Structures are given as C-alpha cells and as structure tokens.
C-alpha cells in the first residue's frame, strides 16, 4: 500500500520524492508527541521510520526495474452520474403527476355535478323562472310600451335561454338606451349583463364601471331596477364635451 502511494505521488507530482527529507520530516513530527515517561524514545522512532522508508524505496526501485508499474485507473462513471439519473427521473415523475391531475380534474368536476340531486336543480330553475316572470310583470307595469321592449325566447322553459330588455330613457337632455340580458338562470345562479348606448356619453367607460357595479351586487335578487337607478345617478359623469368648430 505504501509503495502504491509512492507510485501515485510520482505519477501526479511529476518526479521522485526525497526519501531522506521524508525520514527527517516524519521523525520530527512524531518526536513532538513524545513525553519524558514514554518507553519509546526518538531513537526508536528513527529506527522504525528508517526501516519503513528504506523498504518503500527498495520496493519502488524493484517496481520500476521490472516495469510493473501500478496501473492508473479512472472511474468509468462520473460522480454526478447517478445524481443526473435521479434528477431526470424526478422531473419525469413530476410531469406525469401533473398530467394525471389535469386528466382527473374534469372527471372529479363531472362527478361532483352528478351528485347534485336533480330535484334541487329543477327547483332552482323553477324558482328562477318565477322570479324572472315576476320582475318582467313589474317592469311592464312601471314602464310604458315605448320605454320598454322585451324580447323573450320562444321556449323560456329551456335552460340557457336569454331574455333581452331594451329600455329607452332620457335624463338631463341625454337620451340613452339600456340593453339588459337576463338568463334563464337569473337571478339565483347568474347575474344579468347590461350595457348603455348613447352618442353623448363615453359609453366605454360607463359600461366598464357598470360591469364592475353588477359584479359587486348580491346574487339571488332581482337587479334590473337597481341597474337602471345606478345609470340614472351616474350618467352625467360620462358626458362628452363637444367643442364648436
């Protein structure tokens, strides 16, 4: 083993070592650990080290003479080889898990929806239809035929149908038109959508704030009159000032 270490030193340090200096260095280091009461003295250490180093020197010379040099080995696989494999396996596993989750989510959603009792859905749809009918009757009593246009679907009992209201209003010399879409699932499940048409106001900005206002309202209550009241209270803020040529 010591001879092999000496050969390694020669290969990597590019030359032979000075064995005399090695002896002196080792003896000096070991002598510093001696105590006065120790059985071993510096002479004993020197004798042992001389024998060992001389043996190494002779062994090295024999190896070189017979050209039986210790072969130099390199690891066929780098130290990071296994790390790269497990890292790639981990990344592939994460991707597969993500794809699995994406695949399962629609199934879970459909399963949850299928667990909702059909009777409950039917009751909600019936309640929505009744509330919508009551609100339409109230609006018809409140507005004239010229002020209110109602475009009802051919089969209002089917889900997904839209009832469109068009209200023609005027305030402070501003004539404007409000279009409200009421779904068959309004007002319990869905909120209405509404927008204003007028050439005297900034409709884009008004409709943007109107959508925000509707989003903040409580779901489950009629909102048509609330929307009309908000428009009447705020429309003057969106007047467009025309400059004369």
Same domain, 141 and 207: yes
Task: Give the residue numbers spanning the domain of 106.
Answer: 76-115
Same domain, 80 and 151: no
Q: Whole-angstrom Cα distance, residue 218 to residue 188?
A: 10
Report pTM: 0.50
Same domain, 60 and 86: no
Q: How many other CB atoms sit within 10 Å of the CB of residue 159?
A: 11
The four Cα atoms 224, 164, 157, 218 give a dihedral, to 10 degrees, of -30
Please indicate, yes or no, if residue 7 is contained in any of the structural domains: no
Same domain, 172 and 83: no
Same domain, 229 and 203: yes
Same domain, 89 and 170: no
Please indicate, yes or no, if residue 224 is contained in any of the structural domains: yes
Please indicate, yes or no, if residue 1 is contained in any of the structural domains: no
Same domain, 150 and 224: yes
Digit-by-digit pLDDT tens for the chain (245 residues) are 555 555 555 655 555 567 677 778 877 887 787 777 777 777 787 888 788 877 877 777 676 666 555 555 555 555 555 667 778 888 999 999 999 888 888 888 777 766 555 555 667 788 888 888 899 999 999 999 999 999 988 775 566 788 999 999 999 889 999 999 998 888 888 999 999 999 999 999 999 999 999 999 988 889 999 999 999 999 999 998 654 44
Same domain, 63 and 130: no
Q: Of the candidates 58, 88, 115, which is a domain's last residue?
A: 115
Q: At 131, list the tokens.
A: 């509330």
In angstroms, how far is CA 240 from the centroid of its own chain? 44
Q: With beta carbons less than 8 A apart as the criterion, state whether 44 and 31 touch.
A: no
Please indicate, yes or no, if residue 225 is contained in any of the structural domains: yes
- Count of domains forming the chain: 3
Q: How many other CB atoms sit within 10 Å of the CB of residue 53?
A: 19
């Amino acid at each position: 083993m010591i001879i092999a270490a000496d050969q390694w030193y020669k290969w990597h340090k590019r030359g032979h070592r000075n064995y005399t200096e090695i002896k002196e260095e080792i003896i000096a280091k070991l002598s510093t650990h001696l105590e006065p009461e120790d059985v071993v003295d510096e002479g004993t250490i020197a004798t042992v080290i001389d024998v060992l180093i001389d043996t190494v020197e002779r062994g090295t010379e024999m190896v070189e003479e017979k050209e039986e040099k210790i072969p130099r080995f390199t690891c066929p696989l780098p130290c990071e080889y296994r790390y790269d494999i497990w890292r790639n396996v981990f990344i592939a596993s994460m991707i597969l898990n993500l794809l699995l989750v994406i695949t399962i989510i629609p199934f879970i959603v459909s399963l949850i929806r299928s667990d909702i009792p059909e009777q409950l859905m039917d009751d909600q749809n019936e309640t929505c239809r009744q509330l919508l009918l009551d609100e339409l009757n109230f609006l018809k009593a409140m507005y004239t035929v010229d002020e209110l246009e109602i475009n009802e679907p051919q089969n209002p009992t089917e889900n997904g149908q839209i009832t469109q209201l068009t209200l023609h209003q005027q305030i402070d010399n501003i004539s404007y038109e409000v279009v409200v879409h009421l779904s068959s699932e309004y007002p319990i499940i869905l909120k209405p959508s509404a927008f204003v048409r007028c050439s005297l106001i900034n409709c884009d900005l008004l409709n943007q704030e109107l959508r925000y206002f509707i989003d903040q309202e409580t779901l489950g209550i009629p909102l048509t009159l609330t929307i009309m009241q908000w428009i009447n209270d705020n429309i003057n803020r969106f007047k467009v000032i025309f400059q004369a040529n």
